[in-house]
Amino acid sequence: MFIRNAWYIAAWANEVGQAPLARTILNETLVLFRDKAGKLGALEDRCCHRGTPLRFGEVVDGGLRCGYHGLVFDGSGSCVSIPGQVKIPSKACVRSYPLVEKDEFVWIWMGDPNDADSSKILNYPFHNDHAKWPHKHERYHIKASYKLMIDNLMDMTHLAYVHKKTIGGNPKIHVNAQMAVTPNENGLHYLRWMLDCDPPPTYQKAVTFKGKVDRWQEFEFIAPSSIVQWSGALDVGLSAQENRNQDGGFSLRLFHGLTPETESSCHYFWSTANGYRQDEPEATEQLFSEISTAFMEDKEIVQGQQAMLSATGEDRLVDIVSDAARIHMRRTLERLQRAEKPAPPG
Amino acid sequence: MFIRNAWYIAAWANEVGQAPLARTILNETLVLFRDKAGKLGALEDRCCHRGTPLRFGEVVDGGLRCGYHGLVFDGSGSCVSIPGQVKIPSKACVRSYPLVEKDEFVWIWMGDPNDADSSKILNYPFHNDHAKWPHKHERYHIKASYKLMIDNLMDMTHLAYVHKKTIGGNPKIHVNAQMAVTPNENGLHYLRWMLDCDPPPTYQKAVTFKGKVDRWQEFEFIAPSSIVQWSGALDVGLSAQENRNQDGGFSLRLFHGLTPETESSCHYFWSTANGYRQDEPEATEQLFSEISTAFMEDKEIVQGQQAMLSATGEDRLVDIVSDAARIHMRRTLERLQRAEKPAPPG
Amino acid sequence: MFIRNAWYIAAWANEVGQAPLARTILNETLVLFRDKAGKLGALEDRCCHRGTPLRFGEVVDGGLRCGYHGLVFDGSGSCVSIPGQVKIPSKACVRSYPLVEKDEFVWIWMGDPNDADSSKILNYPFHNDHAKWPHKHERYHIKASYKLMIDNLMDMTHLAYVHKKTIGGNPKIHVNAQMAVTPNENGLHYLRWMLDCDPPPTYQKAVTFKGKVDRWQEFEFIAPSSIVQWSGALDVGLSAQENRNQDGGFSLRLFHGLTPETESSCHYFWSTANGYRQDEPEATEQLFSEISTAFMEDKEIVQGQQAMLSATGEDRLVDIVSDAARIHMRRTLERLQRAEKPAPPG
């Protein structure tokens, strides 16, 4: 069961061109494309003639042409041409989905199209500020529910065990972190401080510290599936807690978009932006490489967790203190799930 | 649900030797072999002792010997030897299937053996006329119902989209083709003419035309799963419609045998014969190579269609004008299906 | 359905170190490890916090630490540490399994831990006698029920067909073998003599015979899943039937442990010891290599058998004379299965 009345990331904007791109979202197989005018379209990936996936087709004047017998569909899903046939039956159409291109993302609305309100899409201005936030992005296919991936990001104590070699740092630091969770209308915010600690390997590769640092992790969860992160560290003595916006330290912005593919798999759209050495492309590359490695560590363990939970169910699990943000996040999802309109009959 | 009371192609004759050949047909796993006298046999691929597949066995005097504990079965499926045991229990037998070798095919009867009438097997004399119809054959494994593969061959408009680079030619030509469908007792016949058109790439590689051609495609569907095709083209002005049997043009004969493996997979037995440059083996090779490429294009798109239909069912599909022959073919299959005797109890 | 109240081989002792080893036994996924003191542990491979497999963890002081959020479990399955949390909930535990290390095996008890009586584990002293019985061991993963693998070892007539090139020898010899089956409390014993026969290829590679040999195969099946084998041959004229313990011939000891993984797969733990040329490591290697080849032949055919039986069931199978030991073995398993206590409610 999915939350349908929500905007999800369907793709990175630069993934979608005239060549049809097939993607499964919320268990529905879609095809994304740009028409000859560059306009985005998302159609059901199934021709209404014989069920052939439209991904085998190509963009022609008027829309996307099926690669089997040549029916053409426009961006609204209407069939506009049947070779050798003048009259087009009114039933000849495929489902279409509202799309919005914004901040390098292609957002898709999976619910009732009449309820698609693009003003509700979150803003991520950092993708438009290449000077201050140079960045790179990626998509990982994850064989785990998007919920388990969001779980992962709601409990930072895992850094000590999963990411020892990258973004982790000393386990004790994570255990003793100051953690403030603030629920809000769309999800929650949390801020985590690790004061007077050793900078982890990824930070040390990026900038030069004098010694110990004051380190923060700030997360905003926007239900159902976006997480905006700002993390960093400053030398002890620079009053980081009063003002994090100082030059000379380390900071990064991460965007995490977890779009359900099936009940037990998801697309992980993420970007990483370096808030230091912005004029050095190799700094952006290096950070991206470090984060890629760390997220592969997450992917491996979360996929293992999904396989085990798929086999054994969720009985006999025990919550611990560090689950606070995770538990709030799950309650938000449950509230949204309950608010879903029942599917129309038929 | 399959049409059982019918002859199907089980193999090419030259596929079957003494080495046992396992093959699944209509969801039943068989083993094909030739005994020491060269006689063909088709047995259930499951020893009646411990269920071991007989494909692990070998041909010995008397029949096929199981590769596990040495029971020997003759071509009728009777156990004729149990090592170390004098008395052979009457229950010791496996199912056998009637076979007929003809025109380079091995035909198998999957229904009640008492109803197997070999006079009902179609004739394909071109396989025996190597001088006039030099040919090569192939078997493709297709992850799609045999019905979807026959669908493919009943609507030639797909050539314009699926086979642009091989046997397709200009899309408009296909749309404007003259098409005559004639139902008959065993299925249907259709003849398609594309007059005054450009020859497609495969034709041009094979022979030299003066310019535009008159092109035909003639198909005979013999239910449940054979299609005999004769296609070709002559220079405009040679009155092709009155007499196609002229030297100097292009023509080929294709045999298409679609034998169900499971409900959603089949064996595609096909041969191609060149009716031009018969003394040049490289012409036969080149045509075979072109057709192989084209049929791989069909395989890819039909497998995509099957996967989509398996996931979504056949609801909401819309027939179009070019479906005429396909719809008749499906009705023939439905009629044969209804005529099947119910399976015997137990 | 499995026989739970029994000792099974979980691993070779040298497979288990501090690095966690995941293994599925009787459909339960376990993790095996040695703690910092070298003590063996077997835990449910599923952390009680979020279900993450403990195989991702590492051994630390106190036990095995989960690789996700750092909970530590001791060998009894109790959680002994939760990072950042003083109080450990009483529900925070995972299932543990009794283990015994003996004769190079790690034995596991899969039933009620209160019933685990290590005195019931069989003795295999040959693993401790490296001078007289130098040996090597292996584990094969078999995609077949452990019962089909034991079947295989209860009917030696298969050697003539499956192992022609290795340990088989002339088929007629196997058919005419003298065979004595003796049921006993724990299973059965059988002794098979093939007198005045040609030594098979494996034997001939190992030692030099004058010509024909008297050959024996002695098997002890200890339910539910161990088989102890002593096989060999002496030159005709040496009165092998009166005294097999003579120098100069060929003899080997094989241990076969078949531990169920799932209903249709198992772990095959086997060792081979050479009772000749004990001072030559290459003799041990050569024998191991020959037996590895032969057991791969078994694996292939038994996996084929399992696939067929999974698809078609066990109807219409016919017992033959050589099934005597197999049938007795199966009756023993059925008796043990009936004696199983019903699982506790919940």
Q: Of A76, A124, A116, nearest to A100 (Cα)? A: A116
The helix (H) or strand (E) run that includes residue A236 is: none
**pLDDT score for C346:** 47
Are the beta carbons of A294 and A201 closer than 8 angstroms? no
Contact B48, B66 (CB under 8 A): no
Q: What is the pLDDT of residues B270-290, one digit of tens each?
A: 999 999 999 999 999 999 999
Distance of CA C27 to the CA centre of its chain: 17
pLDDT at A176 (0 to 100) = 79
Torsion of CA C140, C145, C149, C150, to 10 degrees: 130
* Binding-face residues of A in 41-100 toward B, CB within 8 A: 45-46, 48-53, 55-56, 65-71, 82-85, 89, 91-92
Sorting pLDDT into bands at 50, 70 and 90, what band is A209? very high
Contacts of C44 (CB under 8 A, 6+ apart): C28, C29, C30, C31, C54, C77, C94, C95, C96
Q: Hey, is A274 helix, strand or coil?
A: strand
Residues C305, B65: C-beta atoms closer than 8 Å: no
Alpha-helix runs per DSSP H in chain B: 146-154, 159-162, 171-175, 201-206, 281-312, 324-339
In percent, the amount of chain A with pLDDT more than 90 equals 91
B:125-154 residues touching chain A, CB 8 A cutoff: 151
Query: Contact A108/A97 with Cβ under 8 angstroms?
Result: yes
| Mean pLDDT, range C231-239, rounded to an integer | 96
Using the beta-carbon criterion (under 8 Å), do A321 and C66 form an inter-chain contact? no
Please report the pLDDT score of residue C148 as a whole number.
Answer: 98
- In three-state secondary structure terms, B136 is strand
Q: Where are the beta strands (DSSP E) in chain B?
A: 7-12, 21-25, 28-34, 40-44, 58-60, 63-65, 72-73, 79-81, 99-102, 105-109, 135-142, 178-184, 187-197, 213-222, 226-235, 250-262, 265-274
Average pLDDT of the residues in C235-258: 94
Task: Give the whole-angstrom CA distance, residue B196 versus residue A206.
Answer: 70
Closest CA to B60 of A162, C161, C110, C97: C161
Distance (Å) from the C-alpha of residue A9 to the closest C-alpha of chain C?
27
Interchain CB distance below 8 Å, B56 and C312:
no
State whether residue B142 is helix, strand or coil: strand
Find the DSSP H helices in C186-280: 201-206
For residue C95, what are its two tokens? 């299932």
List strand residue ranges (DSSP E) for chain C, in order.
7-12, 21-25, 28-34, 40-44, 58-60, 63-65, 72-73, 79-81, 99-102, 105-109, 135-142, 178-184, 187-197, 213-222, 226-235, 250-262, 265-274
Domains of chain C with bracketed CATH: 7-120 (2.102.10.10), 125-339 (3.90.380.10)
Peptide bond into C171 cis (omega under 30): no
Tell me: pLDDT of A67 over 80: yes
Distance from CA of B322 to the nearest CA of A (A): 8
- B302: its two tokens: 């039909």
A252 token code pair: 């990064």
Q: Could you read off the pLDDT of C125-142 as tens digits, one per residue?
A: 999 999 999 999 999 999
State the nearest Cα–Cα gap between A248 and chain C, in angstroms: 32
Q: Is A176 on the interface with C (CB under 8 A)?
A: yes
Q: Give the per-residue pLDDT at B345.
A: 56
Cβ of residue C155 closer than 8 Å to a chain B Cβ: yes
Which pLDDT score, from 0 to 100, does residue B165 have? 80
- The beta-carbon neighbor of B51 closest among C171, C300, C308 is C308
Which 8-state DSSP code applies to residue A166? I
The answer to whether B54 touches B45, Cβ cutoff 8 Å, is yes
> Which residue ranges of chain B lie beneath pLDDT 50?
346
B209 close to B301: Cβ distance less than 8 angstroms: no
Tell me the residue type at C271: S
Average pLDDT over residues A114-118: 97
Identify the pLDDT of residue B346.
47
Q: What is the dihedral of CA A205, A211, A214, A216, to 10 degrees?
A: 10
Task: Please choose, from the candidates C197, C187, C126, C133, the residue with its C-alpha nearest in 3D space to the C-alpha of residue C159.
Answer: C197
Residue of C49, C68, C82 with shortest CB distance to A301: C68
- Of C271, C30, C33, C283, nearest to C129 by C-alpha is C271
**pTM for the predicted model, two decimal places:** 0.95
Average confidence (pLDDT) over A171-192:
90
Supply the DSSP string of C41-63, one letter for each residue: EEEESS-TTT---GGG-EEETTE
Q: How far is the alpha carbon of A71 from chain B, nearest alpha carbon, in Å?
A: 10
Examine the pLDDT at A339 and tell me if it is beyond 90: yes
Whether A177 contacts A184, CB under 8 Å: no
CA distance B325 to B151: 9
Per-residue pLDDT at A346: 47
More confident call, B173 vs A330: A330
Neighbors of chain C by Cβ distance (3+ pairs < 8 Å) = A, B
Three-state SS at C206:
helix
Which residues, 6 or more positions from C197, have their beta carbon under 8 angstroms from its beta carbon? C169, C170, C173, C212, C213, C214, C215
Give A182-233 as a DSSP string.
EEETTEEEEEEEEEEEPPPHHHHHHS--SS-EEEEEEEEEETTTEEEEEEEE
**B162 close to A (CB below 8 A):** yes
What is this model's ipTM? 0.95
